[in-house]
Structure 1
Amino acid sequence: MTRSPSRLRRTLFPLSSRAESARIGEILRKETVGGLLLVVGAALALLWANSPWAEGYFALRDVEFGYEPWHLRLTIGQWAADGLLAIFFFLVGLELKREFVAGDLRRFSTAIVPVVAALGGVAVPALIYVAVTSGTAGAAKGWAIPTATDIAFAVAVLAIIGSHLPSALRIFLLTLAVVDDLVAIAIIAIFYTESIQILPLLLGLAAIAVYGAIAQRYRRFFHLRPSAAWFILLPLGFVAWALVHASGVHATIAGVLLGFTIPVLHRRSDRRDDSDPGLAEVFEHRFRPISSGIAVPVFAFLSAGVAIGGADGFASALGDPVVLGIIAGLVVGKPLGIAAATWLVTRARGIDLDPSLRWIDLIGVGLLAGIGFTVSLLVAELSFSVDDPHHDQAKVAILTASVGAALLASALLGLRNRRYRRLDAD
């Protein structure tokens, strides 16, 4: 998916004085850079949390601030999980809407295989987790942890190692990851909402509706002046987020719903030519650096810090059924579920796998999907309270599984990449 045409760059950065900001923004939009910042944030957290200065890390994470009457007195860690990740999920909402309106998900023939594969990649890891943790007190709450895929991390790995892999493989991974995100959003909304306050929820939905009405009505204005969103849409979006947060529904859902309201296509009267990007694409281009350069790395830094306790502590953690269930779900369940679901759906008449793809390539993509990281860490936060012993164990498992899946996928797809390079040379 190419999202940086020269017209879009001219629209977003019309003044030469913004050249440096534009250059930094383009760097942060690169998938490899976003994935690297994510890893750096998590690595710094792990190092600090397991150093002699670990108390400083946990003290920083637990600092509280905010306005209590609005239910917004939160720790820094909670602000990262509920607030910063709302930016990430806003972009997920934009991406989902783009795919359904103008992307691969709008065509049944193109979408059906990766959509079914994504569902298999959610169901099988959850079943493996439940089977492994059966009989472990309190473990069942974490069944959704191994169902998530970190699209930023997975695509970054593919970008690094997959220079000669078929383009259809990248499209398959992106579509699969987008559907995976949609399922993760539904799981968070349905299964991780303990109680709902009706009035704040209704007010929050009303604020989202007003936000969407303004974005739709003045789409051309925001298209020409994206910076106006900071002064008009951002305050309204924050009000909607705060009300949804107060309702008891996880606040990241507000980010998704706000993303869904942004128009993807132009009105006919506004369209100048087919290459002119829609408002959703403009916003995604504008806000992607904030998500990949600030929101997600900061969340990773504040969520990934767990005291492992050295080699002995890590070995002890590997004996915990929750840890084993998460690792097995992500590293084994993801590729197994994706491959099995793909095989089943392609048995149907008229549904075929892209001819440029091979089953060994799909196994590699399945391993990439086993990189849970960001969304898995969020689900772990929602599944287990901070004083629950499974809380830190689950994070150890997510980090271990994500690194393991990334290494296995890199090894397998690296071999396949060399084979395709030789074929291209011939």
Structure 2
Amino acid sequence: MSSPPPRPALFARGSWPETRRITAILRTETAGGTLLIIAAAIGLIWANTPWSSAYEALRDFQVGPAGLHLNLSLETWAADGLLAVFFFVVGLELKREFVAGDLRDPRRAALPVVAAVGGMVGPALIFLAFNLGNGDAVKGWAIPTATDIAFALAVLAVVSSHLPTALRTFLLTLAVVDDLLAVTVIALFYTDELHLPYLGLAVFPLAAFTFAVQRRIRSPWVLVPLAVATWWLVHESGVHATVAGVLLGFAVPVLTTRSGVGDPSAKDPGLAEWFEHRIRPLTAGFAVPVFAFFAAGVTIGGLDGLVDSLTDRVTLGIVVGLVAGKAFGILLTTFLTAKLTRAELDSDLSWIDVTGVALLGGIGFTVSLLIGELAFADQPRWEDHVRIGVLAGTLTAALLATIVLRLRNRVYRRIDEEETRDDDNDGIPDIYQQGS
């Protein structure tokens, strides 16, 4: 078997298999992003109707075994349980990118990695600037730092009929690193009480799960109980249960060696892709929309309530952080890295394209709402303001990104049409065709 072709240069247009993979992810995330938006809209509208009490009763309805400390509300089950499944897929995606994707090559990964870091630092600083001296409000510094990949890719897919593949690759890589940073922040800064015995016990089912998947065991009768045990022990330890999802995702092998067939060094897709293919529809079509339905249901309280929320320092810090902080942080760090190092943008891209992606980074829905719940669990007023701020900031960032990227899409569409005409003319420019 011949060796695989060399990887393209930094952020160059991807190979056909790479393009197909990105397209498949975009299609899936587009559907998931659409469902997310619909579910969030239903929750927000229902919470502001005369039937809001029914919504609150549903959201607060408790179910689960009390003996295991799992008699939780449906809202908590969505945040701790369903999002753990979502973060399991995030863990699979992270590991695949580190082992076999763009993050494997430091040169290819340089710009989106530093862009993700800048996109975290910028909004955090802006939020702190708005809320210094505002008591415990500073605990929400990480709320505007996260990018919602499903929502962002849904917007990109709608406007990207002619945008280069390199732009999608940049956004995907940035979002993957952003997810890793978000998980790290949740684990380090939003764990109020740590119970080490439970955390230590979680190592055993996690190790057993790791051993099973490394042996290519796919039986749900083996893997699901081990995953649930890991999740419960992490949940009881005080660390947010979504971290268990990421750890379980990291345990799954990405590549498997084919033995005795052709080139022994050749690699086949491993269990990570198998799991992702089967579980992603569950997260995109159910887990994330259900979380969005419960998380977005804030009672605004009419025009006066909306004005009060939007003028609150917490809300302003989130909105400005998502819209301006994300864009400025991503652009500045990307520009400085490109100027001061050997990392370069793909030749097909311009800085206006990166601006569009930077604005998309301000779409911070799912993880931002989760961090808001963790930061202000004992502050109902601020928790409501967080939801309004995240919704307002996300919609503003999405609108601005759509305007920029649609303008760029028109430019690339003209380029594609000119190239098509040249091909129809056997490569002879129009000016010579007309003069012949």
Structure 2: how far apart are the matches of 1:41 and 1:4? 30
Structure 2: how far apart are the matches of 1:276 and 1:340? 39
Structure 1: how far apart are the matches of 2:233 and 2:26? 31
Give SS of 1:30's match: helix
Alignment of 1:252-331 (within 5 A): 252-269=242-259, 276-331=268-323
Give SS of 1:178's match: helix
Contact between 1:27 and 1:33, CA under 8 Å: does it hold in 2?
no
* Counterpart in the other structure of 2:197: 199
Larger deviation: 91-100 or 383-392?
383-392
Which residue of 105, 108, 111 corresponds with 1:110? Answer: 108
Give SS of 2:410's match: helix
* Counterpart in the other structure of 1:15: none
Q: What is the one-letter code of the residue matched to 1:256?
A: V
Contact between 2:28 and 2:284, CA under 8 Å: does it hold in 1?
no
Give SS of 1:196's match: coil
Structure 2: how far apart are the matches of 1:134 and 1:203? 39
Q: What is the one-letter code of the residue matched to 2:77?
A: W
Structure 2: how far apart are the matches of 1:113 and 1:30? 25
**Residue by residue, what CA displacement relative to the aligned partner does 1:65-120 show, whole Å, maximum 9, x if unpaired?**
21223221211110000000001100000000000000000001000111001100
* Closer, same or farther: CA 28–96 of 1 in aligned 2, 3 Å: closer
Alignment pair present for 1:37 and 2:35? yes
Q: What is the one-letter code of the residue matched to 1:131?
A: A
User: Once superposed, which parts of structure 1, at least 4 consecutive aligned residues long, lie more than 4 Å away?
Assistant: 1-6, 26-29, 270-276
**Residue by residue, what CA displacement relative to the aligned partner does 1:108-157 show, whole Å, maximum 9, x if unpaired?**
10001110011000001000000011222221010000000001110111
TM-score (norm. length: structure 1): 0.90
Structure 2: how far apart are the matches of 1:349 and 1:89? 33
Q: What is the one-letter code of the residue matched to 2:229?
A: V
Q: Which has the larger radius of gyration?
A: 2
Which residue of 135, 139, 154 corresponds with 2:133? Answer: 135
- Alignment RMSD (CA, Å): 2.0
Which residue of 225, 239, 252 corresponds with 1:249? Answer: 239
* Counterpart in the other structure of 2:354: 362
Identity %: 56
* Closer, same or farther: CA 243–271 of 1 in aligned 2, 3 Å: farther
* Counterpart in the other structure of 2:90: 92
Contact between 1:371 and 1:402, CA under 8 Å: does it hold in 2?
yes
TM-score (norm. length: structure 2): 0.88
Contact between 2:209 and 2:226, CA under 8 Å: does it hold in 1?
yes
* Counterpart in the other structure of 2:424: none
Structure 2: how far apart are the matches of 1:115 and 1:4? 21
Deviation of the 1:30 alpha carbon: 2.2
Q: Provide structure 2 residue ranges, at least 5 long, that are not aligned to the other structure.
A: 1-13, 419-436
Give SS of 2:50's match: coil
* Closer, same or farther: CA 271–77 of 1 in aligned 2, 3 Å: farther
Contact between 2:202 and 2:234, CA under 8 Å: does it hold in 1?
yes
Structure 1: how far apart are the matches of 2:35 and 2:262? 37
Structure 2: how far apart are the matches of 1:78 and 1:111? 36
Contact between 2:102 and 2:108, CA under 8 Å: does it hold in 1?
yes
Deviation of the 1:269 alpha carbon: 2.3
Q: What is the one-letter code of the residue matched to 1:250?
A: H
Give SS of 1:249's match: coil
Contact between 2:39 and 2:289, CA under 8 Å: does it hold in 1?
yes
Contact between 2:92 and 2:250, CA under 8 Å: does it hold in 1?
yes
Which residue of 412, 416, 420 corresponds with 2:412? Answer: 420
Deviation of the 1:349 alpha carbon: 3.7
Q: What is the one-letter code of the residue matched to 1:257?
A: L
* Closer, same or farther: CA 388–5 of 1 in aligned 2, 3 Å: closer
* Counterpart in the other structure of 1:239: 229
Larger deviation: 160-169 or 60-69?
60-69
Structure 1: how far apart are the matches of 2:336 and 2:406? 27
Q: What is the one-letter code of the residue matched to 1:86?
A: A
Which residue of 163, 166, 176 corresponds with 1:165? Answer: 163
